[in-house]
């Protein structure tokens, strides 16, 4: 028996909150298609509801670079990988640069994760009900919907690693093509290709190799049978990683200051659990977290006639990448929750397994847990889509268009955000960079620089967003308040506009 496949008799036949008709493959496919369609609708709904934020505008900028310049990012610090931007280039020519068009690929890749999740669950040996439960959790996760509505590479990364994991399990198990039995090596080719693409999508994706190594250790018989293609595949994966290693290793050795805050292991774990449980807006206290922890523990420890290594693989997938990021952060702070989006399949698959096993013991409890999760997810989705979280540059640009004279300079704090303002504000304007003061700049130095910068001006507009990243003591605004009269101000979500007239 293949190590990652189970016979149908090893799964409980109890059916509760999924109808008996799901014993048929055709009915299961119908439900799976319906869940996938729901996932797509949830992701395209309000797709342009919020303004683009700076990382999304960066996607426009980078995808417009010459291909040679994009590929050079493989050898330079601060670049996550060129693949997403290379894919975005032809899409922009086809779909344009509207908010909806820019975010649509992320919605599509996020939707693709649902059928991949079903296949993944089946490849681990779980029955159709577990696969459908996993698809339902992936489809309605507020966290995954959020990144399915952002013009960035994260749902592409998720889909690539899910595909790579599926083909890796198939290749290690020696799965055969039904029509072409001799082509078993194709699984290895797909695995290497998808993994390579993931490397070039985000720089932290190589951490998944730790999990692949654990899989091989947990299934020594299968590894021995597939030892030669396994070694060849891993050797092939070192080649695409070399350009990244050229700059990553020196930065790690030198303790590069990334600008990210430091997170301890407990803080990382707590944050990831919160986000996976109810998304980006806290609205229900600890209840969702407690529920997911309960189901995760059920998926890990409730008795079942399933090979224990399957659950250990999922546990390794869930824990090893964050642990590696934590250890790296001792030297370089690199933790951001979205960088680890590819561990969410393990989180939700263990949750789905817990739901299935608890339901096999008590139908009422399984149904209650599923109902609470769906209610929690629906509330989280509604909160995210009804309460804007991104800086509203769209409204700010509209305000400037109707109130600003074309010759008046605009100072932007933080200066990098002028790319975001330029996306929405089509008029030309004299641009002044807000002062960087977080390096310990004194008030005297600020006074001298601002005096020189504003010499000869009679009026100035100040656009403020993410100010603490650049001027946490707000010295620029303090200088303007002491040397000018503030004649107007307007506040939007995460962005404020001030109009100053010099005395």
Segment 131-184, tens digit of pLDDT = 999 999 999 999 999 999 999 999 999 999 999 999 999 999 887 765 666 677
Q: For residue 185, tell me if it sits in a domain.
A: yes
**Contact status, residue 54 vs residue 390, Cβ threshold 8 Å:** no
Q: For residue 369, tell me if it sits in a domain.
A: yes
Report which DSSP code applies to 66.
Answer: -
Q: Tokens standing for 185?
A: 């090596």
Q: For residue 375, tell me if it sits in a domain.
A: yes
Same domain, 403 and 332: no
Question: Partners of 410 in the beta sheet?
Answer: 431, 461
Residue 157, CB half-sphere, CA atoms under 13 Å: how many? Answer: 27
Same domain, 183 and 314: yes
**Contact status, residue 32 vs residue 118, Cβ threshold 8 Å:** yes
Q: For residue 373, tell me if it sits in a domain.
A: yes
Same domain, 112 and 138: yes
Q: What is the pLDDT of residue 9?
A: 34
Q: How many helices (H) and strands (E) in the chain? A: 21, 5
Residue 58, CB half-sphere, CA atoms under 13 Å: how many? Answer: 15
How far apart, in whole angstroms, are the C-alpha atoms of residue 44 and residue 42? 6
Query: Can you give the residue range of the structural domain that contains 277?
Result: 22-386
Same domain, 332 and 362: yes
Q: What is the pLDDT of residue 89?
A: 94
Q: What is the pLDDT of residue 12?
A: 36
Q: Which of 365, 386, 407 is the last residue of a domain?
A: 386
Q: Which of 386, 409, 438 is the last residue of a domain?
A: 386
pTM, entire model: 0.91
Same domain, 337 and 416: no
Same domain, 236 and 372: yes
How far apart, in whole angstroms, are the C-alpha atoms of residue 148 and residue 162? 16
What spatial distance separates the first Cα and last Cα of the chain, rounded to whole Å?
84
Q: What is the pLDDT of residue 254?
A: 67
* Measured torsion, CA atoms of residues 157, 158, 163, 166, in degrees rounded to the nearest 10: 140
Hey, what long-range contacts does 380-383 have (CB within 8 A, 24 or more apart)? 380/142, 380/278, 380/279, 380/281, 380/283, 381/42, 381/140, 381/142, 381/145, 381/279, 383/142, 383/279, 383/281, 383/283
Into how many domains does the chain fold? 2
Q: What is the pLDDT of residue 285?
A: 75
CB proximity list for 319: less than 8 A, separation 6 or greater: none
How far apart, in whole angstroms, are the C-alpha atoms of residue 318 and residue 345? 8
How far apart, in whole angstroms, are the C-alpha atoms of residue 228 and residue 457? 72
Same domain, 214 and 323: yes
Q: What is the pLDDT of residue 242?
A: 86
Same domain, 282 and 267: yes
Q: For residue 2, tell me if it sits in a domain.
A: no
Q: For residue 355, tell me if it sits in a domain.
A: yes
Q: For residue 254, tell me if it sits in a domain.
A: yes
How far apart, in whole angstroms, are the C-alpha atoms of residue 485 and residue 488? 9
Same domain, 328 and 416: no
Report which of 480, 466, 409 is spatially closest to residue 438, judged by C-alpha positions.
466
User: Can you list the positions of beta strands (E) in 58-119?
Assistant: none
**Contact status, residue 284 vs residue 373, Cβ threshold 8 Å:** no
Same domain, 299 and 436: no
How far apart, in whole angstroms, are the C-alpha atoms of residue 393 and residue 494? 9
- Phi first, then psi, for residue 500 (nearest 5°) are -115, 140
Q: For residue 52, tell me if it sits in a domain.
A: yes
User: Mean pLDDT, consecutive 10-residue segments, the chain of 503 residues?
Assistant: 35 43 72 95 95 94 88 74 93 94 97 97 92 96 97 97 96 75 83 96 94 94 92 92 79 68 90 93 80 94 74 96 93 90 97 93 92 94 90 95 86 94 92 91 94 93 94 94 94 96 90
Same domain, 364 and 398: no
Q: Which of 339, 364, 386 is the last residue of a domain?
A: 386
Q: What is the pLDDT of residue 334?
A: 87
Same domain, 408 and 429: yes
């Amino acid at each position: 028996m293949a190590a990652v496949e189970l016979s149908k008799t090893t799964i409980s036949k109890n059916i509760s909150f999924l109808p008996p008709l799901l014993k048929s493959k055709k009915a299961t496919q119908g439900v799976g298609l319906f869940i996938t369609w729901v996932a797509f609708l949830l992701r395209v709904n309000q797709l342009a509801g919020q303004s683009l934020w700076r990382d999304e505008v960066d996607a426009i900028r980078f995808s417009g670079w010459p291909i040679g310049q994009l590929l050079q990012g493989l050898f330079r610090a601060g670049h996550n990988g060129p693949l997403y931007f290379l894919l975005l280039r032809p899409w922009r020519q086809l779909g344009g640069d509207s908010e909806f068009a820019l975010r649509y690929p992320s919605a599509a890749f996020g939707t693709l994760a649902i059928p991949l999740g079903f296949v993944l669950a089946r490849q681990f040996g779980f029955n159709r009900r577990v696969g459908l439960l996993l698809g339902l959790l992936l489809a309605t996760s507020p966290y995954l919907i959020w990144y399915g509505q952002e013009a960035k590479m994260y749902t592409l990364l998720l889909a690539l690693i899910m595909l790579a994991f599926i083909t890796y399990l198939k290749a290690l198990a020696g799965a055969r093509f039904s029509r072409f039995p001799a082509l078993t090596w194709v699984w290895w080719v797909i695995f290497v290709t998808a993994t390579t693409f993931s490397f070039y999508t985000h720089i932290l994706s190589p951490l998944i190799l730790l999990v692949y190594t654990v899989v091989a250790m947990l299934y020594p018989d299968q590894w021995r049978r597939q030892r030669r293609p396994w070694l060849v595949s891993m050797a092939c994966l070192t080649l695409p990683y070399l350009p990244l290693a050229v700059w990553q290793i020196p930065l790690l050795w030198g303790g590069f200051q990334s600008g990210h805050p430091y997170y301890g292991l407990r803080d990382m774990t707590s944050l990831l659990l919160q986000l996976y449980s109810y998304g980006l807006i806290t609205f229900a206290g600890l209840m969702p977290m407690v529920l997911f922890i309960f189901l995760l523990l059920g998926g890990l420890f409730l008795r079942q006639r399933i090979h224990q290594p399957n659950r250990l693989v999922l546990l390794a997938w869930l824990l090893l990448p964050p642990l590696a990021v934590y250890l790296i952060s001792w030297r370089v702070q690199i933790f951001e929750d979205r960088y680890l989006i590819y561990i969410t399949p393990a989180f939700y698959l263990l949750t789905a397994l817990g739901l299935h096993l608890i339901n096999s013991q008590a139908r009422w409890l399984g149904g209650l847990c599923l109902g609470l999760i769906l209610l929690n997810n629906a509330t989280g989705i509604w909160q995210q889509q009804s309460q804007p979280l991104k800086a509203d540059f769209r409204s700010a640009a509209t305000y400037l268009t109707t109130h600003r004279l074309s010759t008046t300079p605009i100072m932007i704090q933080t200066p990098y955000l002028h790319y975001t303002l330029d996306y929405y504000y089509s008029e030309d304007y004299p641009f002044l960079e807000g002062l960087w003061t977080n390096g310990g700049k004194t008030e005297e130095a600020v006074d001298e620089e601002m005096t020189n910068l504003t010499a000869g001006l009679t009026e100035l507009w100040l656009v403020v967003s993410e100010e603490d990243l650049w001027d946490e003591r707000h010295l620029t605004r303090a200088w303007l308040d002491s040397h000018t009269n503030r004649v107007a101000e307007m506040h939007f979500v995460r962005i404020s506009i001030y109009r100053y007239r010099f005395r």
